[in-house]
Structure 1
């Protein structure tokens, strides 16, 4: 959605939240405690909020570093499974350290790679590989697979 891209392009960190959500409040507080100044966009106070929320919950997002071989391996796995994830390389982000700390606090054993599917944290390399080996990853990402060559 163009509006999400526009809002996200204006600052290093954007948090899309709902004013009534306690988890949203916790995430905002975490960023502030880390010294970050994210842009906050309350979806429940926006006339296009529901549409934006649906757009944000779609797809596979991976936070990576371009120097990380495990990040590369996870990206290759998803591409081999015919999924084109949205990749956020945090190496050159001025808030890289804060993003890493936030990802670890969210539950990633290692900050990168951090894989999200449908807006939910799947985890780092070990979590993704365990899901794949158990046969649980493909059903999770099936809606995002492309069957085009």
Structure 2
């Protein structure tokens, strides 16, 4: 049920980040992706009434730790480590381009 809600939260959004407003890694990842010129949709789980359920669903999808959970082009990329390794391998920009999050 929650997986369906998460899929609906991803529809037509090239970049979605599930975050916690107090999480410094989430902040770093949001800054990194915004630095490409992308405008990610951010859901702060600690500010959503159903944040706890969403977090449990993210665990079910394999997100550990649960935040930041980054989806690009409706696909789960992973957390901070996965996003950082994409960046280190120079693949984050092209992934964002393919998803339509950035144009350059």
TM-score, scaled to structure 1:
0.59
Q: Displaced runs of 4+ in structure 1, greater than 2 A?
A: none
User: Higher RCO, 1 or 2 (CA under 8 Å, sep at least 6)?
Assistant: 2
Contiguous gaps of at least 5 residues in structure 2: none
Q: Is 1:144 aligned to residue 101 of structure 2?
A: yes
Secondary structure, counterpart of 1:140 in structure 2:
helix
What is the root-mean-square deviation of aligned Cα atoms in Å? 2.2
User: How far off its partner does 1:133 sit?
Assistant: 0.6
Instruction: Give per-residue Cα distances to partners, 1:13-72, cap 9 Å, x unaligned.
Output: xxxxxxxxxxxxxxx2xx39xxxxx6xx8xxxxxxxxxxxxx924410101111000010
User: How far off its partner does 1:146 sit?
Assistant: 5.3
TM-score, scaled to structure 2:
0.82
Whole-Å separation in 1 of the counterparts to 2:48 and 2:35: 28
Query: In the alignment, which of 84, 92, 105 is matched to residue 39 of structure 2?
Result: 84
Contiguous gaps of at least 5 residues in structure 1: 1-27, 33-37, 42-54
